[in-house]
Structure formats: C-alpha cells, structure tokens
Structure 1
Amino acid sequence: MMNVTDIRINTNFCNGCAICAGVCAYGILDLGSEKKAMVKPGAEKFCSNCGLCEAICPKGAIQVNYENAGRVPDFSTERCPTTREMGLLITTRRSVRDYKKMSVPKEIFEEIFDIIRYAPTGMNGQSVHWIVISEPDEVAALVSRVIDWARMVIKTQPESVIAPILPVFVSAYDQGIDKICHGAPHVVIAHSPAENPVGFVDAIIAMTHLDLIAPSFGLGTCWAGIVQGALATSPTIRESIGIPENHAPHYAMMIGYPKYTFKRAPKRNSPKITWK
C-alpha cells in the first residue's frame, strides 16, 4: 500500500508568491482562488517527498510529512563552505590503505550517515541501504571469503577480466599481507533493491558523499574494488554479510583512522572538456 504524503500549508503565513508551485517537479502545487498556495486535488500521490516546496518557502508556510522521515537539521546560523574550502576538501582527499588499529565509534558513523542521507537520489527515492562491518574480526573474515572467491576465479574463470590481477592479492594474503582491505577496521557497503533502475547511481552518489565527509571526522577511506567484484558475483558472500536476496550490492568502502598524513596533493590530468 502506497503511503500518501501529507502536505500542510498554513494559509495565514502564505504570501501567494507561488515559488513553491514553480519548483515542484510534478506540478502538485498551485495558487487557489484566494491567491494562496494549495495542493491540487488528488495530487498528493504524485509527491516524491523531495521537500523543495517546504525548504524554499520564504514564510515557512509549508510542511511535508511522510512515514520514516528523519529529523531535519538546523543550519540556519551556518554558512556554506567557501570555494577555497571545498577545493581543499576535494583535492586533498586521498585513498587510504594504511590504518591505525583503532575502531571508529558508532556515534561517529551515526553522525556521518545522518549527513549523507541528504545525498541526491533519483526522484528522491532514497533507496540506499547501508551495511557497516564494524568489527575488525568480521572484516578479516570477509577478506578471507574474498580470497577464496579469488582462488575460484583464477582456477575456473581464467578468461575473466579481473583474473590476471587476482594472483597478486592471493599471494600477498598467503604471506600474511591483506591487500584486499589493507587492515581497515571497518567496511561499509551500499546496496538497494535490485529492481530500482537508478539504485547503482544513487548508491555511488551517496558513497561519494561518504568519501568526502570522512576526512572532516579525521577518517580515511578507500573504494574496495576487489570486495565489490566478489559481492557482485558471489551470492554466498552477499548472504554472509546480510545483503537481502532481492538487493544488489553497489560498492564497498574501507574506512578508519589513517596511519599516515598526506603532505601535499599529487598531480592529476587536466580536465577533458568539450565546449559546445
């Protein structure tokens, strides 16, 4: 059963500016006969819960309520980061493959996820689910299962695109070196219902937000490509970490406190842009 969004408009506050109607992607709002905002009859069912109308109303006359909506943070006294600050955050972010033997408190993860739940999603579907492997022993168990998968691929699927590089990881593991998760204390996996056509894009956007916010908490991250390769092709590994059968894993990320501090940004290619 579909839950219909509850859109409430306080006409005492509404000044009839119609900005809300203009930003609504689905044409749900309009001005009534008294030049006050109104919901078109029966249109609530088309609402995506994006909340743009509520966020943009200059008089605070609109409230959008729906099931499972989390708290709304108050940043009214804050300013947005400057271009310099955003540039610093993006250009100094590095992939971290050496971690301190320290666990990240659950409260830190909760604060991070409370922020990145605002990452954009297709039609505001908000379909991204998260699994946090929080115990280092469980991360080690995941690494072991990924290595078993790698051995299988090397033996039975030598034509696989990924097969030529897997012996490097297996050989290192056999020597007691973890090149799968690099000793990270935690791994985060994003997944969503497999039927969602934009689930992968939504998850990658959300994962990128995680990647960028992590350094502000003193954390380092690294996209776990080999783990994702195993998750994508091994139902056994997906089941072992609790991904529902009807969900698709979209990516995995290592996270923890960096062992080393990067001193400067490395070189990168110049932008490849075609101007029309």
Structure 2
Amino acid sequence: MLNFKINEELCIRCGKCITDCPPMCISMQEGDFPVIQDENNCMLCQHCLAVCPTGAISIMGADPADSIELQYELPTAHSMETLIKGRRSIRKYKKNALDEKIITRLLETAFHAPTGVNAQGVLFTATTTAEATEKLRKEIYAKVGKLLENCDYDKDDLRFQYMNMAYKAYTNHNVDVILRGAPHILIASAPKTIPLPKEDCIIALSTFDLFAQTMGVGTLWNGMLKWCVDDFFPELATRLGVPEDHEIGYCMVFGSPAVQYKRTVQRKPGALNFVNSF
C-alpha cells in the first residue's frame, strides 16, 4: 500500500510530480489532483515527494515536513572538490570504537545511495565494538596460517602472495596488514537476484566513504578482507550475518584515524576521453 496522498490545499497542480516520475505511473485528469492509477508500477523512489515545490505530496507514510530542505543545505562545488581531493586512505587507527550512534548515522545515510532500478537491496554488515573486530582479526590470521600451511596454492597468485606477506608481518612483528588495526569492519552485500548487486554495493560504500570523512571517520577500501570473507573463508561472512544468497560487493575498515592529513595531494592529469562528435 503506497498511501499516496495529496494535500489539496498545498497542491498547485503544476504537474512536476507527473513529468518527473520515472515509471510514469502518476497522472492527472483535467480539474483533478495527481493520482497513481497502478501502484504496482511505482518504483518507491519518492521523486514525487522530492520534486513537489509546495510539499503537497506524501507517499509511503513519509511526511514532506520531515525531509531536509535542499535549497540552503547542499555543499558548494569548492567544498566537495576539497573533500574528494583531500580524502585519504587511512591505514593507522585509534583503538577505541566509534559511538554506535555515529555508525548508525553513517550507514543509514549511505543507504540513500542510488541503486539499479531503485532495488535498495544493499545490506551493511559492520562490527560495532573493537572487541568483536579483534576477535575476528585473530581468527582471520589463524585461518590464513592454516591456509598457507595446508593449501597447495599457486605461488604466482597475488592473493596468496599478499596473504603470505600479511601473515608474516602479523606473526613476526605484530603488524596487522589485513585490517590495519581498525576497530570496525564493513561488508556491503546484496541479493544475487537484483539487477546489479555488486555495483550497488560499490556505490553505497563510495557514499559511506565520503560521508565518513565529513564526520572525522577514516576509511580504507579493503580487498584483502574481501578475499578473506568471500574467497577463502566464506564461513566467516555467514557467521557475521551475511545471507548466503547475497553477493559481497566489497569491504572496508573504518574508525577514528590516528593520523591527520593537512593538505591535498597533487596528481598527474586525469585520463580523459572527450568525444565531440560521433
């Protein structure tokens, strides 16, 4: 039940909700107010609520008065450019865990990331305590040690080369290369049945990554963790609560950074391919 409602006192019948509806399921007859004829066609995107200039539309129980007004809240181009260029991968973390309210805010905001056909199927699996992450860290290295000892692996396989390096660093020098000493891990997964599970996860994590920087939270895209919970030890993902019918898109670690960067870096010009005619 969409519960699509029009506040007739506010509606000016401008038709913007109709022209901006992706599945074109909103219509308006002459002299009437907007209606949804077939609710099965609705994508649940709430574009109608967002585009209405007077806040006259409510759908799925969402009150437009509870939404954030965009006119004065969007960042400037300069601040976004600084955020993107100034964001760094964090490989040194403070041991203390983040407040769970901060983690929840980060994840709930990142859930607003776009998904293919608005599937909204991404599941975030995160450790909320440093103790849980430490227990996972110890188990990962124990499993890596057994894997390297008992597996007849291809010496040219980069995954095993990195795992061998990480295991030696941990056992010989107590240096955590896989989780980088971070107090939290994050796994993004999505049902294999949706159109773009992997891509949706990557987009969601990218959104999380950028928002985290604004809250003083450091992040690291973590391919080695993905190898562990996806390629080598999928039972760990199951124990963490990742459904078996999900595809893991990618993984991160995050927490309070133990290093602060003071300026952006200067990279070579980007690879750009401009097409002026076709």
Question: Structure 1-normalised TM-score?
Answer: 0.89
- How far off its partner does 1:72 sit? 4.5
Q: Distance in 2 between matches of 1:123 and 1:153?
A: 42
- How far off its partner does 1:148 sit? 4.3
2:222 matched to 1:224? yes
Give yes or no for contact 1:50–1:124 (8 Å, CA) kept in 2: yes
- How far off its partner does 1:230 sit? 1.6
- How far off its partner does 1:145 sit? 3.4
2:234 matched to 1:238? no
1:91 matched residue in structure 2: 85
Instruction: Summarize deviations over 1:88-125 as a string: whole Å, max 9, x none.
Output: 11111100011112210011112222322221111221
1:50 matched residue in structure 2: 45
1:30 matched residue in structure 2: 27
2:54 paired residue among 59, 64, 74: 59
Give SS of 2:272's match: coil
Give yes or no for contact 1:49–1:66 (8 Å, CA) kept in 2: no
Give SS of 1:65's match: coil
1:265 matched residue in structure 2: 264
2:6 matched residue in structure 1: 9
Change (3 A) 1:205 1:153: farther
2:210 matched residue in structure 1: 212
1:203 matched residue in structure 2: 201
Amino acid at match of 2:10: F
2:171 matched residue in structure 1: 174
Q: Show structure 2 runs of 5+ residues with no match.
A: none
Q: Distance in 2 between matches of 1:118 and 1:169?
A: 35
Give SS of 2:194's match: coil
Instruction: Summarize deviations over 1:33-87 as a string: whole Å, max 9, x none.
Output: 31532223xx2111111011111112222111169x9x94434573311111111
1:113 matched residue in structure 2: 107
1:122 matched residue in structure 2: 116
Give SS of 2:49's match: helix
2:162 matched residue in structure 1: 165
1:135 matched residue in structure 2: 129
Change (3 A) 1:163 1:112: same
Give yes or no for contact 2:82–2:264 (8 Å, CA) kept in 1: no
Between the aligned residues of both structures, percent identity stands at 27
Change (3 A) 1:124 1:72: farther
Give yes or no for contact 1:5–1:45 (8 Å, CA) kept in 2: no
Give yes or no for contact 1:200–1:250 (8 Å, CA) kept in 2: yes
Instruction: Summarize deviations over 1:168-193 as a string: whole Å, max 9, x none.
Output: 11111112211111111111111121
Q: Distance in 1 between matches of 2:103 and 2:168?
A: 33
Give yes or no for contact 1:5–1:44 (8 Å, CA) kept in 2: yes
Question: Structure 2-normalised TM-score?
Answer: 0.88
Change (3 A) 1:196 1:86: same
Q: Show structure 1 runs of 5+ residues with no match.
A: none
Q: Distance in 1 between matches of 2:266 and 2:144?
A: 32
Q: Distance in 2 between matches of 1:130 and 1:58?
A: 33
Change (3 A) 1:127 1:65: same
Q: Distance in 2 between matches of 1:168 and 1:94?
A: 23
For the aligned residue pairs, the C-alpha RMSD in angstroms reads 2.3
Q: Distance in 1 between matches of 2:158 and 2:195?
A: 25
2:73 matched residue in structure 1: 79
Change (3 A) 1:274 1:49: same
Give SS of 1:91's match: helix
